[in-house]
Amino acid sequence: MPEIYDVIVIGAGPAGMTTSLYAARSNLKVLLLEQGAPGGQMNNTAEIENYPGFASIMGPELSLKMYEPLTKFGVESVYGIVQQIKINKDYKTVVTEDKTYIAKTIVIATGAIHKRLKVPGETEYTGRGVSYCAICDGAFFRDKKLIVVGGGDSAVEEAIFLTRFASQVTIIHRRNSLRAQKIIQNHAFANPKIKFLWHTTVEEIQGDERSVNQVRVKNKQNHTLSTISCRGVFIYIGVNPHSEPFLKLGITDQNGWIKTDAQMKTNIPGIFAIGDVREKTLRQITTAVGEGAIAAQQVYLYLQKTET
C-alpha cells in the first residue's frame, strides 16, 4: 500500500514551511514537496528589514532558519515538480514528473514567479547579463554599469543591493514615481550610485555573442529611442501566480490566482492555498507565515471532522 500523508504541502517558501511546522507539531504526517531550495523568493532577496525579530537579515539565512526546525518535528521533505492533483472521494493524489504521492489534505504554497519584459534579447541573454535575482548574480558584475527595471519594493531593494558591486545602477521605470515603500525610496534616492530614468520602457536588450552590452529604451512622453550602455539587466516588474498545475481544478480566478476564504480554504474540501499564489493584495513574508499557521490549523480541524 502506498504511504498516505495527513497533508502534502506543495512549496517550501515561508508559507509552506510554516504550515509544515505547525502541522507536524500537531502530530500530523507531513510531506513537504519543493522543486527548488527551501525559502522560495526569500533566497532571491538580499536583505530583509521588515521581518519581526531581525533588524536586518539576509534572505537565504532566514530561509535556513525557517527550515531547520522541520526535520526535528518529522517533516518529510522531497524534491518534485508537480504536474497535477487528482481527487477521489477519500484522498488527493499529487502527481509529479516521476512519482505520485497520496494525502488526505493538500496545502498549495507554490508562490509566484517573475514577470518577463517579453522584449527581444531577454530570453537570449538570460544567464548572460539578464537576471531576475540580484543576490544570485550581483557579484558577477563588480565595477560594472547595471540596469534595474521596475519601481516596486523588489526593484528598488535589489538596486540598492547591487550598488555593493556595481559602479552605477540605473533604475528604469515607466512612470514618474516609484511604487516602493517610502523608506526604501529614501535609501535609493540617497545612494550616490543610483540613477533614475523616468517615463521609460526597455524596448530591446542587446549584446554580443557573449553577454549584454546595452539596452534600447523608449521615452514614453516624446517617443524617442536611445541606447544605454550596461553589462547587466535585472528585471523586477511584478509576478504571476505559479498555479499552472492547478488550473483544471477550478480554484483560480481568470488571472490564475487561487481563490480562498479567510481560513485559506479553496472551493474543494481538503485543499487549501496560502502565500503568494493566493488572490490577495499584500504579499509579504509576514503575511505568508500567518497564512501558513492558519492553514495548518484548518487542516487539523478538517481531519478531526472527517475522521470522526
The confidence score (pLDDT) of residue 49 equals 83
- Average pLDDT on 208-214 reads 94
Q: Is the pLDDT of residue 48 over 90?
A: no
Q: Average pLDDT of the chain?
A: 95
Pairing of strands 30-34, 76-79: parallel
- Write the pLDDT tens digit of every residue in 53-69: 999 899 899 999 999 99
- Write the pLDDT tens digit of every residue in 158-170: 999 999 999 999 9
- Average pLDDT on 214-229 reads 97
The confidence score (pLDDT) of residue 281 equals 82
- Average pLDDT on 265-291 reads 95
Residue from 137, 153, 230, 276 carrying the catalytic annotation: 137
The confidence score (pLDDT) of residue 270 equals 97
Residue from 6, 90, 136, 208 carrying the catalytic annotation: 136
Closest CA to 200 of 179, 226, 182: 226
Give the residue with greater pLDDT, 135 vs 74: 74
Closest CA to 202 of 230, 168, 162, 244: 230
136 has catalytic annotation: yes
Q: Is the pLDDT of residue 1 over 80?
A: no
Q: Is the pLDDT of residue 285 over 90?
A: yes
% pLDDT > 70, the chain? 100
Q: At what angle do helices 14-25 and 59-72 cross, to 10 degrees?
A: 20
Q: Is the pLDDT of residue 90 over 90?
A: no
Q: What distance in Å separates the CA atoms of residue 261 and residue 35, rounded to the nearest whole number?
A: 27
Residue from 6, 90, 133, 208 carrying the catalytic annotation: 133
The confidence score (pLDDT) of residue 133 equals 87
pTM: 0.82
- Average pLDDT on 13-22 reads 98
Give the residue with greater pLDDT, 265 vs 45: 265
133 has catalytic annotation: yes
